Amino acid sequence: MPASGALPDLTQAGPLLHAASAETRAGLLRHARLLVLPPGAMVVAQGAEVEALHLLVEGSLGLRVADDGGATTLVEILRPGEAMAIGAVMLRVPCAVTATTLVPSRLLAIPAEEVRAATARDTRLMRAAMEQMAREWRLMLDQVVDLKTRDATQRTARFLVRRLAAPQGPVEMPEPRIAIAARLGMTPESLSRALHGLEAAGLLRLRGRRVDVPDRAALLRAAGSG
Amino acid sequence: MPASGALPDLTQAGPLLHAASAETRAGLLRHARLLVLPPGAMVVAQGAEVEALHLLVEGSLGLRVADDGGATTLVEILRPGEAMAIGAVMLRVPCAVTATTLVPSRLLAIPAEEVRAATARDTRLMRAAMEQMAREWRLMLDQVVDLKTRDATQRTARFLVRRLAAPQGPVEMPEPRIAIAARLGMTPESLSRALHGLEAAGLLRLRGRRVDVPDRAALLRAAGSG
């Protein structure tokens, strides 16, 4: 057990470990470290070998890409329960993104070779790894559809709806606004206009780093999903 | 062997089958059918179970998504050598996209259960399946970066560069312009303006369904990649 603290409740660590047999899970957790990180900490660098599978337990992780043409942007924000770069872990290939904490965060780091060995032994864990890869592809696919078919206000509304579990209530937006704007493919000014426009339409109330949504269905309609 | 013709040269069927052992590959090919399809033929429907792994041997396959919000768009165009929906095959989950031929096409269809059985036996094929999933994710990631950071002309130039293998030469664009425009996240009118703008700048010559590129490096610079 590392000095950085007791391992957290595993229900927060997402579906990947839960798919493994109890024996596999226990074996992986014996090798796991808990990382307690401030905002702005780099977890994995694009182009580097990935030494550990990272499971986000608390906080937010921003994934950035600098492509071969020199363009750099934030492509995704991971939230608790999600795994980071399972494909690079499984395939031993350089990581395609740079992952940086956007807020204070806690991650479980499991050595990549332990993960590879466990998936080779445990077919349920192997399946879960492929499910995670399929899920990451699907998130990118959804974002491509969003970027091609929805305007800034619709994308903002959709982002909020996805973070809202209940029919109404608060949506936490602890990340820097510039990161959320980049995730949504817009400038911070456009994000601000979109949020204030939705507030003026009675669809939300801005409360600093929190947004209150009185009616999820109405916000969904504003997202072009009515 | 099906009535639709002899199996094609497997070097055209992409890296997936090549990764398998000779025995695995021969076993899969015994179950393969060659599909010879006209333009507009639906290969897989979104939401349906995927009964076969499809390897594109010749032609173009458009992948469309209708999302839960009712938005529909073309997210990707597959070219020869690429595999279709390996994730859905491996995981037995409904296909996330509708795949339709954009031009006359030939595909190898290998029954999904044969593919799953073969990957369970052949670790090299399993690795190749994961590599294919990682590659599909990467293509979506690249598209997200493109959509967020590049304008219509830059995206058009980048699309052409990717289809151009040599430092100069022709780029085939056999697909309907409306499909290419959707792939690039723009209207056909914007695509036309971008192409004519690049031609006016001396970076390409339009020849109907073919574009001649005199200088790949110069076009790359126009793509914001100089």
Q: A157, A146, A148, A150: which is closest to A197 by C-alpha?
A: A157
- What pTM, to 2 d.p., does this model score? 0.91
Give residue B150's region: left, alpha or beta (phi > 0; psi -120 to 50).
Answer: beta
Evaluate if residue B162 carries a pLDDT over 80. Answer: yes
Mean pLDDT of B114-136: 93
Q: Is A81 on the interface with B (CB under 8 A)?
A: no
Mean pLDDT of A201-212: 95
pLDDT of residue A11: 52
Scan residues 87-116 of A and list those with Cβ closer than 8 Å to B: 87-88, 90-91, 93, 96-97
Evaluate if residue A192 carries a pLDDT over 70. Answer: yes
pLDDT tens per residue, range A17-26: 888 888 999 9
Q: Cβ(B72)–Cβ(B10) under 8 Å?
A: no
Mean per-residue pLDDT of chain B: 91
For chain B, give the percent of residues with pLDDT over 70.
93
Q: Cβ(A108)–Cβ(A7) under 8 Å?
A: yes
CA B78, B83, B88, B94: dihedral to nearest 10 degrees? Answer: 40
How many Å lie between the alpha carbon of A4 and the closest alpha carbon of chain B?
Answer: 32
Mean pLDDT of B199-208: 96
Strand partners of residue B206: B211
Scan residues 10-49 of A and list those with Cβ closer than 8 Å to B: none
- A223–B69 C-beta distance less than 8 A: yes
CA-only gyration radius of chain A, Å: 18
pLDDT tens per residue, range B173-182: 999 999 999 9
Evaluate if residue A5 carries a pLDDT over 90. Answer: no
How far apart (Å, rounded) are the C-alpha atoms in residues B47 and A176? 36
pLDDT tens per residue, range A31-84: 999 999 999 999 999 999 999 999 999 999 999 999 877 788 999 999 998 999
pLDDT of residue A67: 83
Q: Is the dihedral of CA A224, B100, B50, A14 positive or negative?
A: negative
- Which candidate from A67, A142, A144 shows the least CB-CB separation from B147? A144
Evaluate if residue A104 carries a pLDDT over 50. Answer: yes
Q: What is the ipTM of this complex?
A: 0.91
pLDDT band at B206 (very low <50, low <70, confident <90, very high): very high
B145 vs A contacts (CB less than 8 Å): 65, 67, 71, 73, 75
For residue A52, give the 3-state DSSP assignment: strand
Evaluate if residue A139 carries a pLDDT over 70. Answer: yes
pLDDT of residue A16: 85
pLDDT of residue B189: 98
- Which candidate from B65, B69, B185 shows the least CB-CB separation from A225? B69
For residue A84, give the 3-state DSSP assignment: strand
Output B167 or B195, whichever has higher pLDDT: B195
pLDDT of residue B13: 63
Q: Is the dihedral of CA A208, A156, B137, A9 positive or negative?
A: positive
pLDDT tens per residue, range B61-114: 999 999 877 788 999 999 998 999 899 999 999 999 999 999 999 999 999 999
pLDDT band at A165 (very low <50, low <70, confident <90, very high): confident
pLDDT tens per residue, range B21-41: 889 999 999 999 999 999 999
pLDDT band at B168 (very low <50, low <70, confident <90, very high): confident
pLDDT of residue A1: 39
Evaluate if residue B2 carries a pLDDT over 50. Answer: no
pLDDT band at A2 (very low <50, low <70, confident <90, very high): very low
pLDDT of residue B225: 66
